[in-house]
Amino acid sequence: MQLDAILSSYSFSAVFYGTAILFFIVFVSLLIKKPSPFLKKILFISILCVVTSVTIFLAGSTIYLNVVSFSRGPVHYHADFEIWNCGWEIDLKDPKGISNKIGTATLHEHNDKRIHLEGVVVDSKSASLGRFFEVIGGHINQTSLSIPTNNGELSLKSDYMCENGEIKMLQVFVYKVKNGIYYQNKVDDPKNYIIAPETNLPPGDCIIIEFDSFKNKTDKLCRSYKVAESIGKIKGEINGN
């Protein structure tokens, strides 16, 4: 379990038990019809100690997490992604519930093909592609991919055979922006790839994951990049896609 999850669990416990103790103190005070001044003082001090202790713990754990974290405080990063299998785009399972997300409070997706990293980043791996797939219930490495879909888990591996009989392999490409020009790189180790610390897209990453014949570049491009290019915000690299 990560440090942020551990501290979150402890914080919840502190609030829960602190509230329970406060209710108990209040209940006891109501049972005593005419408490003595000394007893009133004891009850007041008890309430003050509980409230102060819980407040100090919550504040202290928050400050500690921010100090020791990789991001040195809360962040809000985004990266778009697309997953292609034998020429067909694959969607993650639809999120359910009020939160409308799959993953964790810090790292998740909202049925928008976008990685959301919101909160304190404990270590660099917390911002990795591998961690993202892990928290949504899948995995990715150099040769295989597993993702949750509306039809159940989809697992693919390099040397995968498409319906037309062609052999495909897992490949990952990342688009970035520099000086208004977008370009792409092929990622050799997708599991440990760290998304760019960007809020807006672009210049945040556009990640293309596909099972296809071996190639050095992809012809796929995230919608956010297409829109930005159409309005003249960015341009494709010379001799690019």
Instruction: State pLDDT tens for residues 126-155.
Output: 889 999 999 999 999 999 999 999 989 889
Query: Which tens digit of pLDDT belongs to each residue from 88-99?
Result: 999 999 988 777
Phi, psi of 150 (to 5 degrees): -65, -20
C-alpha 223/C-alpha 83 separation (Å) is 13
C-alpha 95/C-alpha 189 separation (Å) is 28
Q: What is the mean pLDDT of residues 29-46?
A: 83
Neighbours of 95 (CB within 10 A): 16
The pTM (predicted TM-score) of the whole model is: 0.75
pLDDT higher than threshold 50 for residue 240: no
| pLDDT on residue 132 | 95
Q: Flag the least confident range among 25-29, 132-136, 183-187.
A: 25-29
| pLDDT on residue 239 | 47
* Confidence bin at 66 (pLDDT 50/70/90): low
pLDDT higher than threshold 60 for residue 201: yes
The pair of structure tokens assigned to 201 is 């897209």
pLDDT higher than threshold 90 for residue 82: yes
Phi, psi of 33 (to 5 degrees): -65, -50
Q: What is the mean pLDDT of residues 191-195?
A: 94
